[in-house]
Structures are given as structure tokens and as C-alpha cells.
Copies of this chain bind each other. A is one copy, B any other.
Amino acid sequence: MLDLSLCARAQYVNIDRIRLSIDNGPYDAVIALAPENVPYFGGFYNMDLRLLPERMHIVVWPKGGDPTFIAVQRRAENMPGSGGTFVKDMRGYKGEGLDSMRVLEEVLRDRGLTEGRLGFEGRWFPGAHLVDIKRRLPKADFVDAYAFLESIRVIKSEAEIAVLTRAANITCDAIDSAFKAARPGNSEREISARIQYEMLRNGIEMVTAPLLASGDRSGYWHGMALDRPVELGKVLKVDIGGTIDGYYSDIARTAVMGKATPWQRDVHAKLTEVKHRIVDAIKPGVTAGEVAKIGEQTYDRLGLEFKWFILGHNIGLGLHEEPSLYPWVTESFKPGMTLMIEVGYNDDYPKESFHVEDLILVEPGGARYLTDATRHERIWELGV
């Protein structure tokens, strides 16, 4: 069976939710190896899931049964020394090549699933490995189950909401702390390093997306800090996140070095207004597309051209989970979803770009902020 006492991250594990979903789902078994699914379906997390994906960790969970965990031999033999898992049936493979598929075949044969309908992660399962396991099990039917697995993860437990809130607020506080210390003449790199230092010393285990750029480069898509001073009067745009126990934060803030111009103040104020109207509009049963349209209409109503693309996305063990806030999305919000709401303007080099992003929780009556958004109602003026 399962043993939660062996799993260092037991507090996040939702065995009942997983069982119910898989037992009532359309697959005879699901095969999870994506770095966002292994911690959820296997209880195991280590940063090497993303750093070295060639050392695959695979959870096989059959309908009505208990899971098996497949890992490289060294990890399989020393699970307690890597954080542990609640899965008791542990199998090891050799090397970093296709031997993992020999073991996967063995597991599926043991479970009588050689002719089953097997859910795999279409966007993660490596092509060569898929070809190999199909050759080994020619009668099995392999079907993309990524969206199915994600849909199980997308409603968060209390422990998950708590860790996401903590990660987001450590990130917010780190940005504010570095903003308070920022002075004219500081380089992008100095400010970025200070934000990351504050994140790390306050509990973020790893910074995963250190984006920071100023002035004309603020419109550079996913620009990283350079050794150049933030110019007086120019915007400084930060979009940064990290993880705690594998759960992501993803916070964006925009400030100005020195005094802001009326135009900069105005754009930021309008974006803040759009963000609040989006959060107001989110309720269980409303679709992400409807809310995205309300967001775009609010830009329009405020006289700010919509020069942006995404207005938000779910977040958890995945950085971008569904639903995303695009006008065409028909998925509706549900209580327990945690989303980043992000508004921006002009994300297009070499124009000055603005970006603000906060974490919210969907509750039965509507959505509420989990980050303190009040400190950035007006654009920050650094070093003033």
C-alpha cells in the first residue's frame, strides 16, 4: 500500500483526490514523469527533476490500484536520502537511456496492462522513449493524459495554498526590500542580485525565473539583468519567481528610478485598476475567457490600448497551469484554484514596458488576493 510517513512532503499529498480521479478516469493506468507531476503523484521532489530530466523519475498509477515508482538505480536504493516517497513499490533502472523503458514494460506486464489504455504526458514523455515502450507493448493504447493529470493538481489543498502564499509573499517582500535599497546609479544586476538574496535567505529554495530589465530593455521578452545602471526616469520591470518544496512563486512589479512621469504614473494606475476588475470578476462558474474579455474591456474603458497578451494563469507545481486568462478559454474557475493575475503594457522592445502580477485564491464567493497588492497601488519611485 502507501506509507506517508516515508514522505518528507506528506503534508501536500492528496491521496484521496488522486485515487478518486484515477479510479473514475478514462485510463487503465497513468504514467507520470513531468517534474510537476512526479511530486504530486509520487510524493517525491528534488530540484534534479528539472535540472537533469534525462534521469527520469516515473510514477505508474493503475486504476483501482497502488502506484509504482521507477527511478535510476542509485535513487531507487536511497530514497530516504533524497526526500522519500509514499510509494512503496520501488524499481530501479540503469543509466540514463532506454533501460527505464525495460522497467516500465516490466511494471505494466506485472499489472496486466499490456493491452491497456495508458495515459502518458504528451508534452513531456520523450519521443525516443515513447517509440521504445510502444514497440515493447504493441497492443497497448497510449493516449495523451497531460491535461487530465493537470486537472487533478489544479485544485489546491490547504497546505498547498499555504506554501504558495508563503512563496509569493517572500518574493513580494524581497522585491520591496531591494526597491527600498535601490539608488540612482545602481545597476540592473545589483538590484536583481539583492532581490534574489532576500528571497533565498527568507525561505525560497531556488530562484527559477530572475527576470529584470529597465528602460528600453524592459520590453525585451524575458530580459535578464545586465551590468548597466538603471537610468533616471526610466522604468525598472521585475518578473521573478522561485520555489518552496517545488511550488512556484511568480511576481511582477514595475517601478521608476527617480521621479515618475505623469504618463508612467497613469499607465501603472490603469493597470492596477484592470487587475482589480479582473479579480472582482473571478467567481466559480465564470470562464477564464469571460474574465479575460472583461480585462481587455477595462483597458479599453480606461483608454489604455491593449498591448499585452496573457492576463493570468493558474500556478502550483507547474509555473503555468490551466486555465490561462485568454479570451478563447472556456474552462471555468473552481474554488481552490490559485492563479497569478498579471497585467501589463507594451511588452515590446524597445518600448518602456509595465508588468504587475499578484497571487489570488478562488473561493466559493469569489476571488481574493493572497499577496499584499496595496503596496503597489501607485508606481514606486526608487531612491526618491
Contact = CB atoms under 8 A, between A and B. Distances in A.
Contact size class for A? 35 or more
Oligomeric state, in copies:
2
A194 B201 CA distance: 8
Interface in A337-380: 348-350
Interface in A214-245: 219-222, 224-225, 227
A74 interface: yes
Nearest to A143: B128
A222 B78 CA distance: 12
A95 to B, nearest CB: 9
A98 to B, nearest CB: 9
Contacts of A48: 222
A128 B127 CA distance: 8
A220 B81 contact: yes
Residue in A122, A210, A224 whose Cβ sees the most chain B Cβ within 10 Å: A122
Interface in A188-203: 189-190, 192-194, 196-197, 200-201, 203
Given A51-B208, A52-B319, A348 B224 contact: no
A206 interface: yes
Contact of A74 (B125, B225, B309): B309
Instruction: Please classify the interface of chain A as helix (H, G, I), strand (E, B), loop, or mixed, using the class held by over half of its residues.
Output: mixed
Contacts of A206: 207, 210, 224
B227 A203 contact: yes
Nearest to A126: B123
Contact of A201 (B51, B193, B209): B193
A262 to B, nearest CB: 26
A221 B78 contact: yes
A81 B219 contact: yes
B82 A47 contact: no
A140 interface: no
Nearest to A133: B127
B81 A350 contact: yes
A46 interface: yes
Interface string A44-67: 001110111110000000000000
A229 to B, nearest CB: 14
Interface in A104-158: 120-131, 142, 144, 146
A221 B126 contact: no
Nearest to A326: B95
Q: Which 6 A-B pairs have the closest CB atoms?
A: A122-B128, A81-B349, A127-B130, A125-B127, A193-B200, A193-B201
18 contacts: A47-B211, A51-B209, A54-B123, A78-B349, A81-B219, A81-B220, A82-B221, A82-B349, A121-B127, A122-B129, A123-B129, A124-B126, A126-B126, A193-B197, A196-B207, A205-B224, A206-B207, A206-B224
Interface of A: 46-48, 50-54, 74-75, 78, 80-83, 120-131, 142, 144, 146, 189-190, 192-194, 196-197, 200-201, 203, 205-211, 219-222, 224-225, 227, 309, 319-320, 348-350
